[in-house]
Amino acid sequence: MTFPALLPRIIIVSGPSGSGKSTLVQKLRDLPGLMFSVSYTTRPRRGTESPGKWYDFITETEFQQKIARDEFLEYAQVFGKHWYGTPRKHVEEARAQRLDLVLEIDVQGARQVKAKLPEAIAIFIVPPSSEDLERRLRERGQDSDEAIARRLERARQEMTRSCEYDFVVVNDDLERASSEVRAIVVAARCRRRDNDERLRRILDTFGGS
Ligand code: 5GP
């Protein structure tokens, strides 16, 4: 097996709240060769979340110290409220372990990563319609009518940024959407520019160029 110089591949997954992006990222967990970034956040921990699994929960002061020490690959204040950031160290860890790194981040973070690492593969998950998203948010039962209206407006704003992504997956059917996300990762691994060394070695078996 060969490991191209461009490793780690960075796979960004974004999408509006309620689009099902976390479920789709979960479904990637049985694909070999992936590492999943754990972000730092200042938002309070929800009852169902254990620290260090989805997020490392820190104070705003600690977050600002990390910004000052340039510890983030990207960071953003999401929904104008809490801070979220991807630690730079995950990129080094993924490189050392020769794994591709998955980032589940918002549109602001995706833009920063793409600016720094244009080879990053950015996937945008969309619901099939606004009505469908509203229904999913209501079924979750977490939000008031007002909060749902706010989430729908944010979703609209985020969807206008989908043109910044390389791939769009419509999540109207979880199994199909999941196989599409996996197909994107698998196809990215077959990119010619990521396989130059391997190709050269194969060409050598034919007597070289
Ligand atoms: P939640 O608080 O519901 O888990 O996440 C809120 C939003 O923050 C989601 O859109 C999620 O993708 C985004 N997010 C999570 N971690 C990061 C991160 O490290 N950086 C950025 N920019 N966004 C993040």
**CATH code, 126:** 3.40.50.300
Ligand 1 centre to CA of 208 (Å) is: 48
Q: Out of 41, 45, 71, 78, give the residue to mutate to test ligand 1, the one with the largest number of ligand atoms within 8 Å of its CB.
A: 78
- 3-class SS of residue 60: helix
Any domain includes 76: no
**Structural domains counted in the chain:** 1
Residues 1-54 have pLDDT tens digits of 344 555 689 999 999 988 999 999 999 999 999 999 999 999 999 888 877 778
pLDDT the model gives residue 68: 98
Does the CB atom of residue 37 touch ligand 1 within 6 A? no
Tell me the β-bridge partners of 40: 56, 85
Q: Residue 192: which domain range?
A: 10-37+100-205
| The ligand 1 atom nearest the CA atom of 43 | 2
78 located within any domain: no
**CA-CA distance, 162 to 126, in Å (whole number)?**
9
12 CB near ligand 1 (under 6 Å): no
Predicted pLDDT of residue 143? 84
Percentages of the chain per state (helix, strand, coil), in multiples of 5: 45, 20, 35
Q: Which residues of the chain have pLDDT under 50?
A: 1-3
Gap from CA of 79 to ligand 1 centroid (Å): 10
Asked if residue 106 has its Cβ within 6 Å of ligand 1, the reply is yes
Q: What is the pLDDT of residue 50?
A: 77
What does the chain come to in residues? Answer: 209
Atom 11 in ligand 1: which residue has the minimum CA distance?
105
Q: Which residue has the tokens 């950031």?
A: 85
147 domain residue, yes or no: yes
Q: 99 is written with which tokens?
A: 């794994």
User: Is 127 inside any structural domain?
Assistant: yes
Nearest to 98 by CA among 197, 209, 199, 2: 2
Task: Give the pLDDT of residue 6.
Answer: 59
In a domain, 195, yes or no: yes
Pairing of strands 39-41, 55-57: parallel
